Amino acid sequence: MHRTRIDLTAKSRARMTGLLNARLADAIDLQLQAKQAHWNVKGPNFIALHELFDRLAGELGGHVDEMAERITALGGAAEGTLQAVAGRSKLAVYPLDVTEGRAHVDALADSYARFAKSVRKASDEAGKAGDADTSDLFTGISRGVDKGLWLLEAHLQADR
Ligand SMILES: [Fe+2]
């Protein structure tokens, strides 16, 4: 950990850095999954889904940056390389053979739900550890991810 004037203990900052790097890996993985869907989707809803997936990837990029810069603000090192992320992401591997729109929405919705759950848990953990700011950052991200999940699931729920 780098030295900093911030009024949080080095132990607490190190713990938050670990928590943030874990969810940073998921977020980078999820951003790439949304791009994968953006590039490869086909079918009658092509343009709507192609644009939705790109919008989601853009929003996830914002979350990625927020978490990475919270890590460095705490004196830690953000670990956002492809190699670091590949070994750490808790998301399911995104299928490479998917083309049809509904299958992409399904696969992405699964990843969104998994990510939202772990971010909510991270928010609780950060709050209990006494870092209200990191907790608040996670809370804001989980709110955004919940909204993204809604945008995806609305494509699946017309008949349910
Ligand atoms: Fe594009």
Question: Residue 5 C-alpha to ligand 1 middle, in angstroms?
Answer: 42
CA distance 90 to 32: 14
How many A from CA of 38 to the centre of ligand 1?
7
Each residue's pLDDT expressed in tens, for the chain with a length of 160 residues: 899 999 999 999 999 999 999 999 999 999 999 999 999 999 999 999 999 999 999 999 999 999 999 999 999 999 999 999 999 999 999 999 999 999 999 999 999 999 999 999 999 999 999 999 999 999 999 999 999 999 999 988 876 5
Helix axes 132-153, 10-40, angle to 10 degrees: 20
pLDDT of residue 86: 95
Give CA–CA dist 20/13, Å, rounded: 10
For the chain, the 3-state helix, strand and coil shares in percent, each to the nearest 5, are 70, 0, 25
- Alpha-carbon span 110 to 118, nearest angstrom: 13
Distance from Cα 37 to the centre of ligand 1, integer Å: 10
Helix (H) or strand (E) holding 12: helix 10-40
State in Å: Cα 111 to ligand 1 middle: 20
